């Protein structure tokens, strides 16, 4: 039996809940959106994406705090969280996800290649960020970043579903 690709699992969960997704990408440059829209029927839940590769666009389009960007740079956990929340707000989605980091081949802003942050922003104040230290080529780092942000969202959707089931069953 073949495993269902993570993008398909995510879209199935979103469709079952009648919820939507927005994406903010930096180092992945549109690969998350491509992975999601590669699934037939993705338009039911996927609203769109912002590829904010330039640091200034993270502030102007996604609302990432300018002081945070100036002090820490774009490769930061809080930047990833704000990007996810910004995409969610900008596109009016239930869920927002984001990627930011260094794909390589060399370091950037004092961070080695493979330093990546992925984030999820969801309803009811859900916010989750994962720090990744990835190895491999530029292409491999970008591909693993896509998989990781979708897995992070999948985990939050599953956790959120369990919490809703518990609430509906009287908390037992």
Residue 20 lies in a domain: yes
Domains: count for the chain: 1
94 domain-assigned: yes
Residue 96 lies in a domain: yes
Indicate whether 171 belongs to any domain: no
CATH number of the domain within which 124 lies: 3.90.950.20
Contact 172, 135 (CB under 8 A): no
> Is 146 part of any domain?
yes
Burial class of residue 150 (count of CB atoms within 10 Å of its CB; 0-12, 13-18, 19+): buried
Per DSSP, what are the bridge partners of residue 49?
Answer: 23
The answer to whether residue 1 is domain-embedded is no
Per residue in 46-105, pLDDT (tens digit) is 999 999 999 999 999 999 999 999 999 999 999 999 999 999 999 999 999 999 999 999
Angle at the Cα of 135 from the Cα atoms of 132 and 141, rounded to 5 degrees:
70
Residue 172 pLDDT exceeds 60: no
Q: Is residue 172 part of a domain?
A: no
Please state the pTM of the whole predicted model.
0.92
CB 150 within 8 A of CB 32: yes
The residue range of the domain holding 27 is 6-166
Q: What is the 8-class DSSP label of residue 3?
A: P
């Amino acid at each position: 039996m073949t495993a269902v690709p993570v993008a398909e699992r995510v879209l199935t969960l979103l469709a079952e809940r009648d919820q939507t997704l927005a994406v903010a990408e930096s180092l992945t440059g549109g690969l998350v959106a491509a992975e999601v829209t590669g699934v037939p029927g993705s338009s039911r839940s996927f609203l769109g994406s912002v590829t904010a590769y330039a640091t200034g666009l993270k502030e102007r389009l996604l609302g990432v705090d300018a002081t945070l960007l100036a002090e820490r740079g774009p490769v930061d956990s809080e930047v990833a969280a704000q990007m996810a929340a910004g995409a969610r707000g900008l596109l009016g989605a239930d869920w927002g996800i984001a990627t930011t980091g260094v794909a390589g081949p060399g370091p950037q802003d004092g961070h080695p290649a493979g330093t990546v942050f992925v984030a999820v922003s969801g309803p009811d104040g859900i916010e989750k960020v994962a720090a990744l230290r990835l190895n491999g080529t530029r292409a491999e780092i970008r591909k693993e970043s896509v998989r990781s942000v979708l897995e992070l969202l999948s985990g939050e959707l599953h956790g959120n579903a369990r919490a809703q089931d518990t609430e509906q069953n009287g908390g037992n």
